[in-house]
Amino acid sequence: MPQSNLTDAPAFQALIQHFAEAKEWQMRTLFSQQSDRFNRFSIETAGLLLDYSKNRLNEKTMDLLFQLARECDLESKRSAMFSGEKINTTENRAVLHTALRLPRGASLVVDGQDVVPEVHAVLDHIKAFSDRVRSGQWTGCTGQAITDIVNIGIGGSDLGPEMTCRALRPFVHPRLTMHFVSNVDGHDLDAVLAKVPSESTLFIIASKTFTTRETMMNAQSARSWFLQAHAEPDLPRHFVAVSTNTEAVRSFGIDTENMFPFWDWVGGRYSVWSAIGLPLALAIGFEGFSEFLAGAHAMDQHFQTAPLEKNMPVILGLIGIWYRNFFGSSSLSIAPYHQDLSQFPAYLQQLDMESNGKRVTAAGQPVSTATCPIVWGDVGTNGQHAYFQLLHQGTDVTPVDFIAALKAAHDLEGHHMVLLANCFAQSEAFMRGKTAEEVRVEMRAQQIPDEKIESLLPHRVFPGNRPSNTILMDKLAPSTLGALIALYEHKTFVQGVIWGINSFDQWGVELGKVLAKNIEAELTGAAHPDAHDGSTNGLIARAKISLSE
């Protein structure tokens, strides 16, 4: 039932009623009443386990949430995405990152054309190129094998390759060092150029449009830097491009033979599976990249075929709806207990907040409920020594997603057990909290006088009942990373469908691409003292004083 207002959906109304009761529940009680709660509220697929038992919900909550998903036509909207319907209506585009992970031989016809052969033609090109670079057959202009790869891109053309290359660090070719430059702030490029030898560095200019100001400026500066030491005909051995804009790539001086294309139906934040993933293929090899795609494809198949009740991305998405729209949680913390996933929270921040940070429905009407929460986080155990204070004892209830790998990729003794123990202990502490009586017993055992105990008591009590999910994998490898990213992509899709928004445009980001142009001209050229508000005029005038010194 496509309702005009989400709040009018019968299941939404039933959830409001149900929440009046559920908000009083204590998870400690739920666990003591249901000894098999872990079995009831956990699911395993595509190499990932999701334990969602430490949440303020029961079977009825989930049933109502599944009903809500059905009333929002989740199943038909899911089919529409997978079959290539133009669900990104404001840009009139299909949304087909899932087609990038289809195996060779599959078929998906969009606008009368099967896209799978094109996808695999680009993958073949990526394979041939990455094999040559990794084997040392592709050399720089002095005949040296490539030692350093610099990806220049921003947003979706940076976060995916950088996050995945970092996540799969143990799989990276030992001769290759990966670098990522995104910020127009010259300190970013300058720091990388200071480290890399021009004769053995390969630059990848990654931009879907090949017009993004930051990327083009960094690319031009990298080109000038290169030409200080080498000649123009040497450029093609050191600069390749990933783009949809052949003309702009050619006029930059890149041989279009070394251009890796993708398509308008691949959104920036969903593009790591396309040629935008070239740095990852170079770093871990094409076989590893194929496993990464296969991991995501396994999650796609699960999402596409499993009933809602046994569907991991659906469950994860609906739990998020429960906290956002009923408990009023305005943020979601991502806590990977894995150093190599240090960029994963930032990656999810873009995926989720750029997709679902919307205030009107796909039909252009104001939404009737809150939409995307703020997504943030950092690796454990580091976060425990910083902002976890607020998560334990602050005034807001912030749901947390814990992510951990059961096996480590190092053999340093003891570390991994300590890491895992901390991960599990934190989710337990969020759930249980610590009652006044438990604090008293603990302090008495430490021989602390009663008077002192009572004065410290309010500070040492933990309310608990704070929800979390835990996602476990055997080890962080190309296939599990692929499945993990796809899990969150589909979770984002599920929530976008419930909120009735277009998760695949980004007009707020487009605005940023044009806003600075006028001010840039004013900073470097003639001032227009009255062009802006008083504050902006004042800042421009003050900057010009320093810039002219």
Hey, which residues are catalytic here? 354, 385, 513
Q: Give the residue among 489, 476, 385 at the shortest CA–CA distance from 166.
A: 476
Q: Which residues contact 332 (CB under 8 A, 6 or more apart)?
A: 320, 323, 352, 373, 374, 375, 376, 398, 399, 400, 401
Neighbours of 367 (CB within 10 A): 16
What is the separation of C-alpha 225 from the centre of its chain, rounded to a whole number of angstroms? 32
Is residue 164 close enough to count as binding ligand G6Q by CB under 6 A? no
Is residue 354 close enough to count as binding ligand G6Q by CB under 6 A? yes
Please state the closest distance from residue 117 (CB atom) to ligand G6Q, in A: 24
Residue 139 identity: T
Report residue 231: phi and psi, to 5°: -95, 160
Is residue 155 close enough to count as binding ligand G6Q by CB under 6 A? yes
Is residue 130 close enough to count as binding ligand G6Q by CB under 6 A? no
Contact with ligand G6Q (CB under 6 A): which of 80, 408, 461, 509?
509
Nearer to ligand G6Q, 267 or 482 (CB): 267
The window from 102-110, 266-274, 294-302, 430-438 that contacts ligand G6Q (CB under 6 A) reads: 266-274
Distances (CA, A) of 261 to 52, 79, 176, 535: 40, 26, 24, 43
State which H helix or E strand residue 470 sits in: strand 468-473
Nearer to ligand G6Q, 13 or 183 (CB): 183
Distances (CA, A) of 104 to 117, 130, 204, 293: 7, 19, 26, 12
Please state the closest distance from residue 220 (CB atom) to ligand G6Q, in A: 14
Please state the closest distance from residue 263 (CB atom) to ligand G6Q, in A: 13
The window from 34-42, 100-108, 163-171, 206-214 that contacts ligand G6Q (CB under 6 A) reads: 206-214
Nearer to ligand G6Q, 259 or 308 (CB): 259
Please state the closest distance from residue 264 (CB atom) to ligand G6Q, in A: 11
The C-alpha atoms of residue 465 and residue 536 are separated, in whole angstroms, by 46
Is residue 151 close enough to count as binding ligand G6Q by CB under 6 A? no
By beta carbon distance, the residue nearest ligand G6Q is 155
Contact with ligand G6Q (CB under 6 A): which of 207, 325, 398, 502?
207
Q: DSSP state, 171?
A: G
Beta strand extents in 61-152 (DSSP E only): 109-110, 113-114, 148-152
Nearer to ligand G6Q, 10 or 512 (CB): 512
Please state the closest distance from residue 88 (CB atom) to ligand G6Q, in A: 11
Is residue 356 close enough to count as binding ligand G6Q by CB under 6 A? no
Contact with ligand G6Q (CB under 6 A): which of 3, 58, 209, 301?
209
Is residue 215 close enough to count as binding ligand G6Q by CB under 6 A? yes
Is residue 154 close enough to count as binding ligand G6Q by CB under 6 A? yes
Residue 495 identity: Q
Q: How many residues bind ligand G6Q (CB under 6 A)?
A: 15
Question: Is the peptide bond prior to 381 cis by the omega test (within 30 degrees of 0)?
Answer: yes
The C-alpha atoms of residue 66 and residue 318 are separated, in whole angstroms, by 8
Instruction: Dihedral sign for Cα 444, 449, 454, 457, please.
Output: negative
Dihedral of CA atoms 472, 476, 478, 481 in degrees, nearest 10, equals: 40
b/e for 449-462, b at 16 or more Cβ within 10 A?
Answer: eeeebeeeeeeebb
x/- string (CB under 6 A) for ligand G6Q, residues 295-334? ----------------------------------------
Helix (H, G, I), strand (E, B) or coil at 105: coil
Is residue 502 close enough to count as binding ligand G6Q by CB under 6 A? no
Over the Cα atoms of the chain, what is R_g?
26
Is residue 97 close enough to count as binding ligand G6Q by CB under 6 A? no
The C-alpha atoms of residue 150 and residue 197 are separated, in whole angstroms, by 11
Is residue 43 close enough to count as binding ligand G6Q by CB under 6 A? no
Nearer to ligand G6Q, 130 or 506 (CB): 506
Please state the closest distance from residue 358 (CB atom) to ligand G6Q, in A: 13
Is residue 285 close enough to count as binding ligand G6Q by CB under 6 A? no
Nearer to ligand G6Q, 88 or 398 (CB): 88
The C-alpha atoms of residue 204 and residue 180 are separated, in whole angstroms, by 10
Is residue 269 close enough to count as binding ligand G6Q by CB under 6 A? yes
Please state the closest distance from residue 509 (CB atom) to ligand G6Q, in A: 5
Nearer to ligand G6Q, 347 or 388 (CB): 347
Neighbours of 309 (CB within 10 A): 12
Nearer to ligand G6Q, 250 or 475 (CB): 250
Is residue 347 within 8 A of residue 304, CB to CB? The reply is: no
Nearer to ligand G6Q, 5 or 245 (CB): 245
End-to-end CA, the chain: 65
Please state the closest distance from residue 151 (CB atom) to ligand G6Q, in A: 12
Q: Give the residue among 69, 50, 139 at the shortest CA–CA distance from 494.
A: 69
Distances (CA, A) of 527 to 520, 524, 540: 10, 8, 8
Per CB under 6 A, residues contacting ligand G6Q are 154-157, 207-209, 212, 215, 267-269, 354, 506, 509
